[in-house]
Every structure is written in C-alpha cells, then in structure tokens.
Amino acid sequence: MADQNDNPNAEFLERKLATILSADVAEFSRLMGEDEEQTLRIFRGHKQVFESLVAMHRGRVFNTAGDAILAEFDAIDRADIGAFLVKVGMIFSSKVGGTSGPVWGTAFLRAGMTSRTKTEIDLTDLAAMGNNAVQGIMARGGAAQGDKTILDALIPAVNRIAEHAQNGTGDVAQACRDAAEAAQAAVEGTRQWPAKRGRQSYASERSVGTLDPGIVAVAMMAKAIVEQMESAVGEEQVND
C-alpha cells in the first residue's frame, strides 16, 4: 500500500487547538439579572480586546458562553518545515481561485514533500525543494521556461541557490539575496514577452508590455524572505 505522504493530493488531517478563556467578570450573574442588555453590551465591547489578542496568535473567537470565550488556534507544526509547507500548499489549493491556486498549491506541496520531517535545511535542501516545486508546476500546467509564467522567475532563483550549494559557500543569506535579484530581474526582463500559458495567454500578443502577476509574486516573496532574514540577523546582533 502506497504511503499517503508520497501523494501530494492525499487528504491530511487538519487539527486545531480549542480552548475556553474565562473573562471572569466580577458579579457577572448579578449584573445579568439586574440589566442583561446593558451587561452584554459592555461585555461585547471588552470582548474585542480578547479577539484582538487571540488574532495576534493566529486564532479566532468562535463562540461565547456567559463570561467565557471559546477560541480556536491553528495547530500547524511550524517546527516541521515539510508539514508547514504542505499545509500552506493545501490552503492555496483550497482557498485561491483560478489557475493560481493549483499552481501555487503544487509548488508548496512539492517543496514540503521534499523537506518532510526536517526542522533545519541547508542550501542543498533548499535547491532540491525549489527544483521539485518547479517540476511540479511544469507537470501541473504544462508550462516551460520562456512561457512568461511564474517559472521564469522561480527557475533563475532556484538556479542561484543551486550554484551556491554546489560551490559549498554555506552562505544562506547571500544565496537568498542572489535568488531574489534573479527573480526581480525577471519582472522587467519578461515584460515584452507574449504570454504562452496561464490567464495572460488568453490575451495573446496583447500581453506584450505587461507584467506577469506570478513572476511579480515570486520576486516579492523572495524580497520578503531576504528582508526577514536580515531583520532576524539584526535583532541577534543587537541582543548580543
């Protein structure tokens, strides 16, 4: 019997953490008896404080019972890199419409399957994850490099990471910077191309002179990753 984890389309059990938060309103029962409407109005106003705090921790309030608040939190395991990426892929596939959802979903699912059970990755792992994502996108949509799609930013970015991995530099930050620059170069570098795949291909020659949203998205994500890494390094230096 095939391992379910080998199938990126397999159903994964979605777990959530549910909890009851007690507001512990002083003399709640007496206040309710004296003026229920006014008490509930005031409580709903204070409840917004709970909702904002829960939201900060990626949760949501889904019910109340008296002065108790019922909340649920996403139980996705961020320590397991593969499980996290698979979850992201599932969200893209189920929540994002059009052709973008399946394409992005496949990319994250394939990357996640490549990094299953890993809590740390190096440049070799990152390159393998990127290459597997590329192969998944190609198989999913039949696109290739040069078709003015997400691949025209993703492939050069992954290639830069693979070069750093082969050279054995071990400099993850610089590899990501180079990857981000390659992805950004593709934004304007493909502007004058006609789109051959994806939604823009419906416009044929009219797509010449326009930017491809998928290419722009890859460049923006790569830039955000670099900025986050640099911010984290800066915080560590300050703490030291």
Per-residue pLDDT at 218: 93
Side chain identity, residue 205: E
| Crossing angle of helices 151-167 and 123-141, rounded to 10° | 150
Q: Report the percent of the chain where pLDDT is more than 90.
A: 42
C-alpha gyration radius of the chain? 23
- Position 153 pLDDT exceeds 70: yes
* Domain regions of the chain by residue span: 16-74, 81-239
- According to DSSP, the residues that pair with 59 across neighbouring strands are 73
pLDDT band with cut points at 50, 70 and 90 for residue 238: very low
> 132 or 19: whose pLDDT is higher?
132
Report pLDDT digits (tens) over 100-137: 888 999 999 999 999 998 999 999 999 999 999 999 99
- Position 46 pLDDT exceeds 90: no
Report pLDDT digits (tens) over 157-207: 999 999 999 999 889 999 999 999 999 999 999 999 998 887 777 777 888
CB 154 within 8 A of CB 106: no
When mean pLDDT is compared across 11-15, 31-35, 150-154, the lowest value belongs to 11-15
Options 3.40.50.720, 3.10.450.40, 1.25.40.340, 3.40.640.10; CATH for 81-239 is 1.25.40.340
When mean pLDDT is compared across 45-54, 88-97, 140-149, 189-198, the lowest value belongs to 45-54
